[in-house]
Structure 1
Amino acid sequence: MKRILCGAAIVMLSLTGCAETQRAADTTVAAAKAQVNPTLSTTDATFMTMAARGGMAEVQLGQLAQTGGSSAAVKRFGERMVREHGEANQAMMALAQQKQITPPETVGADQQQIYDNLSKLRGRAFDRAFAQAMVQNHQQDLQAYQEEAQNGTDPDVKAFAARHVPILQEHLRMAQQLPQR
């Protein structure tokens, strides 16, 4: 039981520990991308970078859930993450190409740490830690997408965010129903 709680605690700490560092790196990258495409604001470019990294991470975590999860609900949720975030990733790549920016090729350090921690867990311990990570990831993503949808400056990027808000709301609702205790 202690091992299960420690695993979940490690995952939760990793969710918050690297996020600020990753956001600062994303902002620096976005500023460089915005200079390549002067019609794209730094805020919009930062959002695109964050959304691309988050989408890739959700696909990887979904794949991990399909193999490491013990409950059918976690496996189904993982399958849905792969499918729906994969589709969103394709749309993001098309948008990035249209805006003449190069999207990131890898997930962020904080997302990689979550993956690494989850990959060490199995069974119910995995299910609980995965559910907690999905709730927190989708809360953060939903907030960023809503912010971009309301305050973005590029109409295409703003529309992309607005189209995906309802999907992320549904993902959050589903993640909150996964076994967390």
Structure 2
Amino acid sequence: MKRRLGGAACAILLLAGCAETQKAADATMAAAKAQVNPTLSTSDAAFMTSAARGGMAEVQMGQLAQRNGRAASVRTFGQKMVTDHSPVNRELMALAQQKQITPPGDIGAEHRQTYEQLAELRGSAFDHAYAQAMVKDHQEDLQAFQDEAANGTDPEVKAFAERHVPVLQEHLRMAQQLPRR
């Protein structure tokens, strides 16, 4: 036996369908707004975000090294991180603005955890932990910049990465010479 739906029941089903359609439309609009620059690949955008977080972290940890480091080489390296990464960070922020990418507002969870662990240390304990963190960080950064320089799709982002590979290579070499034991 078939049962017919009354007018009110049809109206409720129709409105429910409209609400679901509206939710789907809202989600589509949000996705479109999130991708402001559709010509920039997701890998280029991810590189820019990661590089920005890393650059900000280098500056913050460099300032920490100047305060908490015992060895002159650690304090000097910390100052170099501030001096070298600050203008690169400004250059990257300008490039992000040009590419309509919202730069990250902070250093991110991984860098924050490292910073907080280092902030608890002083003297030679700080020196050793900071040196290990800088070697690891610069190895990762160098790999990311080399990958972007070789495989990036946006010419300006790729050129940015290419320009800064030599600096990161030098930073890694210097970090490897810091006291680590």
TM-score by length of 2: 0.81
Is the 8 Å Cα contact of residues 69 and 122 (structure 1) preserved in structure 2?
A: yes
Note the alpha carbon deviations across 1:63-98, whole angstroms, 9 max, x for none. 000000001000000000001111110000110111
Q: Report the structure number with the largest CA radius of gyration.
A: 2
Is the 8 Å Cα contact of residues 34 and 40 (structure 1) preserved in structure 2?
A: no
RMSD over aligned CA atoms reads 1.4
The residue aligned with 2:22 is: none
Aligned positions, number? 151
The residue aligned with 2:85 is: 85
Is the 8 Å Cα contact of residues 37 and 99 (structure 1) preserved in structure 2?
A: yes
Q: Distance in 1 between matches of 2:131 and 2:93?
A: 27
Note the alpha carbon deviations across 1:107-164, whole angstroms, 9 max, x for none. 0101000000000000000000000000000000000000000000000000000000
Q: Distance in 2 between matches of 1:65 and 1:78?
A: 5
- Structure 2 gap segments, 5+ residues each: 1-30
- Structure 1 gap segments, 5+ residues each: 1-30
Pairwise CA distance, 1:176: 0.1
| SS state at 1:36 partner | coil
Runs of 4+ in 1 over 3 A off after TM superposition: 31-34
Q: 1:122 to 1:33 in 2, by over 3 A?
A: farther
The residue aligned with 1:107 is: 107
Q: Distance in 1 between matches of 2:65 and 2:33?
A: 33
Q: 1:174 to 1:61 in 2, by over 3 A?
A: same
Is the 8 Å Cα contact of residues 33 and 102 (structure 1) preserved in structure 2?
A: no
Pairwise CA distance, 1:33: 8.2
Q: Distance in 1 between matches of 2:54 and 2:179?
A: 22
Q: Distance in 2 between matches of 1:33 and 1:167?
A: 35
Note the alpha carbon deviations across 1:18-71, whole angstroms, 9 max, x for none. xxxxxxxxxxxxx98872101100000000000000000000000000000001
Q: Distance in 1 between matches of 2:113 and 2:143?
A: 21
